[in-house]
Chains A and B, each alone.
Chain A
Amino acid sequence: DSGVTQTPKHLITATGQRVTLRCSPRSGDLSVYWYQQSLDQGLQFLIQYYNGEERAKGNILERFSAQQFPDLHSELNLSSLELGDSALYFCASDVTGTGSEQYFGPGTRLTVT
C-alpha cells in the first residue's frame, strides 16, 4: 500500500460526458502528479501540482483540467469524453515535488462507451 488513494476504482460512462477522478496523496506529500496509461502503453504525464499550484504540464488535452485543494487532495476533470479517453489514470505523490521517487495510487480505470 503506497498510501496514495484514488477513487473511484472503475468508471464507465458514455461519450460526451464529464467525469471527476479523485486522488489523496500520502500523508505529508505536497505534490500530486496525474498520468494516463492507455492499452499497455507507458504512462503519459498529464499535470503536476505542488501545494495547490500548478507546477508542470504535460500532454494534457484542453478537455481535461485538474486542481489541488487546500487539504492537498487533487481532482482530475475529464469532459466531452471520447472513446480514446478510455485508459487507466494514475495519481502519484511525493514530498519535494521534484519528480523523483513518486508513490503511485492504484489507478482509476475509465471506460468510455
Chain B
Amino acid sequence: DQQVKQNSPSLSVQEGRISILNCDYTNSMFDYFLWYKKYPAEGPTFLISISSIKDKNEDGRFTVFLNKSAKHLSLHIVPSQPGDSAVYFCAARADSSYKLIFGSGTRLLVRP
C-alpha cells in the first residue's frame, strides 16, 4: 500500500523553464511534507518542507504547494537549471509517528 505516490517516473524540461514535480498521498494523518533531491552515488539532500497548516512555502527558486483537500503537493522549480537534474523524492510524516514515508521518486532532466 503506497501511501505516498509520485506517478511520473521522469520529467524533462528546458533550462530556464519551470519544472513541476507532483506527489499524491492517501493518509490524512500526514502533517508534514518534505522534498529531497538525490544525485547518483550520494544520499538524499533535504530541499524544502511544508507543514499541513500552510499551503505554500518558498525558498529561492523552489516552492512547494500543498492542497490538503486533494491530498496533493507539488514542487515548482523556477527557473530550472541543468544542475537541478536529479531524482526528487517527496516524503510525508504523520504527527503520531517519527518516520518518513517516501515516494518512489521522479527523475528530472533539465536540458541546456
Binding site for B on A (CB under 8 A): 2, 4, 31, 33, 35, 40-45, 48, 50, 55-56, 58, 90, 92, 97-107
Contacts and interface: CB of A to CB of B under 8 A. Distances in A.
Most buried by A among B45, B91, B103: B91
25 contacts: A2-B45, A31-B98, A40-B105, A42-B4, A43-B44, A43-B89, A44-B102, A45-B100, A45-B102, A55-B98, A56-B99, A58-B99, A90-B44, A97-B98, A98-B98, A99-B100, A100-B34, A100-B49, A101-B49, A104-B36, A104-B44, A104-B45, A105-B43, A106-B42, A106-B43
Contacts of A106: 41-43
Interface size bracket, B side: 20 to 34
Interface of B: 4, 6, 32, 34, 36, 41-46, 49, 89, 91, 93, 97-105
